[in-house]
Amino acid sequence: MVAERNGRVLICGSRDYDNQAWIAAKLYNLHKLGYDTLIEGEARGADTLARKVAHVLEMRVMPFP
In a domain, 2, yes or no: no
In a domain, 1, yes or no: no
* Residue 4 in this model has a pLDDT that exceeds 70: no
In a domain, 12, yes or no: yes
Contacts of 57 (CB under 8 A, 6+ apart): 27, 28, 31
In a domain, 33, yes or no: yes
In a domain, 23, yes or no: yes
Average pLDDT in the 36-52 region?
96
Average pLDDT in the 1-10 region?
67
**DSSP category for residue 31:** H
Q: How many domains does the chain have?
A: 1
- Residue 17 phi, psi (nearest 5): -70, 135
In a domain, 30, yes or no: yes
Q: Which domain holds residue 34?
A: 7-63
Q: What is the sign, positive or negative, of the torsion defined by CA atoms of 10, 46, 43, 12?
A: positive
Average pLDDT in the 3-14 region?
80
Average pLDDT in the 36-65 region?
96
* Residue 2 in this model has a pLDDT that exceeds 70: no
- Residue 28 phi, psi (nearest 5): -60, -45
* Residue 22 in this model has a pLDDT that exceeds 70: yes
Average pLDDT in the 23-47 region?
95
